[in-house]
Structure 1
């Protein structure tokens, strides 16, 4: 089977002369309307082009895919960073029915988590945990929608580890915040489509300083994989203008718990002190002290 990383458009063009008449119609449609085709079912493409669903399936087979879903997945992987928010929004017709849309979104989140579980590299995960625990200082960088993930991870790692810094846009430029990185530090870069160029530039900078880089992203196609020493993948596929961060958040929870189990004795006293402070100052809702 062919690899997802190859340019699907080039594959179609290289095989064009070998296609049947109906398959050539499919090929022309995908080349001209790849942004729409990537999110259409085989039946829908067949309907638009004027061929049967089985012809679309055979088209995928001719290109080297075991079925249409794998061809569709490869196309989505390659184009999702190119789609603008307006293009994504234009593909939202299937979600106009609130009940259908609700189920489709929830099912997509479930698929993302299932895909993440099936493809997690356990050895890589252990390497990431070990690198974070050994680091003198941990920097966490995630911009745009990934900023929420970076803040969440930073909050919990900050509770468990001595020196954690979340790098974010503000008064100081991100390069200024990363100016003192050393080879003893680790920078965790979180990057999801559409991949922030500033995140990638910052990670290249710290890598040049000899700093270890941990990437958290969606797939092997992500540009962060060529920069990071270790990379963890969590799927974020979503058809609409909102990227699903459910699987990435679940991966971060797993990472936090794994680190917490390694330092639970050290942080036990810390949590006891926090509980006393929370109780004294009524931080959480509960019964009034008497």
Structure 2
């Protein structure tokens, strides 16, 4: 089943006459409220329309899905880049309350990491590491909520490789900052729903200059992935007004460590020097020297 609203909705409409009475209630609900249905469990969806959980599962099978989770994922793919922040707040109220916020969010983040471990391509990961070592210059762009990820990645890569530049909103336009990108360089774009337009355009620009383009995003269907030579998948599902960046940060941590493991001696020298500088200029709070 293609992750396309028109195809999925059309399939429901075509099947509608042959559905059971209970399944028709589910179909009508999804056709009207697919944005809400996408984040409901089978039991919750069934309860909302007055049918059993097993009826919801059979409905998914009737549409050609192997189970309800596949139908749910298809619905989520339709709407995750279209939801406004207000809609995300409304949806979050369906499964996260003040009473269960801590447990609900932590469990969702655990699931994101588990799904990322299953989806990410290990060979692609190694190819990205290799491309970073071959690059003359590494550009990193992540806008809006992804800017924190871009800064974090750049901070540590710069300690190891010395040739990293963050591309961000500022005095210069995005394109002015990457005007000299070439086939000798790598551009890493980080973006999750709702995808920042400028990030997508920056990846397209770098690709037109024959640079290696890396996307860190949530799906191979992401508009960033469409512009990339290498795509690292990190699941970020969170039906809330706050983006879930736990799994993306974990992938970025792995990338930094993989690069660092190839430059152990250099890192050791760098941090040895930094420790002396940090102590001399009191960058960090140190206890009495005898206690360290």
Structure 1 length as normaliser, TM-score? Answer: 0.94
Is the CA contact (8 Å cut-off) linking 1:5 and 1:221 kept in structure 2? no
Deviation digits for residues 160-201 of structure 1 (CA, Å, limit 9, x no counterpart): 112100000001010000101010000000010001111111
User: Quick one: distance in 1 between partners of 2:14 and 2:200?
Assistant: 32
User: Quick one: distance in 2 between partners of 1:94 and 1:34?
Assistant: 14
**2:185 counterpart residue number:** 185
Structure 2: state its 5+ residue gaps.
Answer: none
- The list of structure 1 runs, each at least 4 consecutive aligned residues, that deviate by more than 3 angstroms after superposition, is 2-7, 94-97
Choose 70-79 or 91-100, whichever is displaced more.
Answer: 91-100
Q: Map 1:61-72; keep pairs closer than 5 Å.
A: 61-72=61-72
**1:15 counterpart residue number:** 15
Structure 1: state its 5+ residue gaps.
Answer: none
Q: State the shift of 1:110 in Å.
A: 0.2
Q: 1:224 to 1:96 in 2, by over 3 A?
A: closer
Q: How many residues align?
A: 289
Is the CA contact (8 Å cut-off) linking 2:236 and 2:243 kept in structure 1? yes
Is the CA contact (8 Å cut-off) linking 2:220 and 2:226 kept in structure 1? no
**2:105 counterpart residue number:** 105
User: Quick one: distance in 2 between partners of 1:13 and 1:188?
Assistant: 41
User: Quick one: distance in 2 between partners of 1:135 and 1:204?
Assistant: 18
RMSD (Å) for aligned C-alpha atoms: 1.7
Deviation digits for residues 45-94 of structure 1 (CA, Å, limit 9, x no counterpart): 22222222211110011112222122112211221100000011112324
Q: State the shift of 1:289 in Å.
A: 5.6
Q: State the shift of 1:96 in Å.
A: 6.0
Q: Secondary structure at the match of 1:214?
A: strand
Is the CA contact (8 Å cut-off) linking 1:120 and 1:233 kept in structure 2? yes
Structure 2 length as normaliser, TM-score? Answer: 0.94
Q: Map 1:104-143; keep pairs closer than 5 Å.
A: 104-143=104-143
Is the CA contact (8 Å cut-off) linking 2:236 and 2:244 kept in structure 1? yes
User: Quick one: distance in 2 between partners of 1:213 and 1:271?
Assistant: 30
Instruction: Determine whether 1:259 maps to 2:266.
Output: no
Instruction: Determine whether 1:197 maps to 2:197.
Output: yes
Q: 1:216 to 1:5 in 2, by over 3 A?
A: farther
**2:231 counterpart residue number:** 231
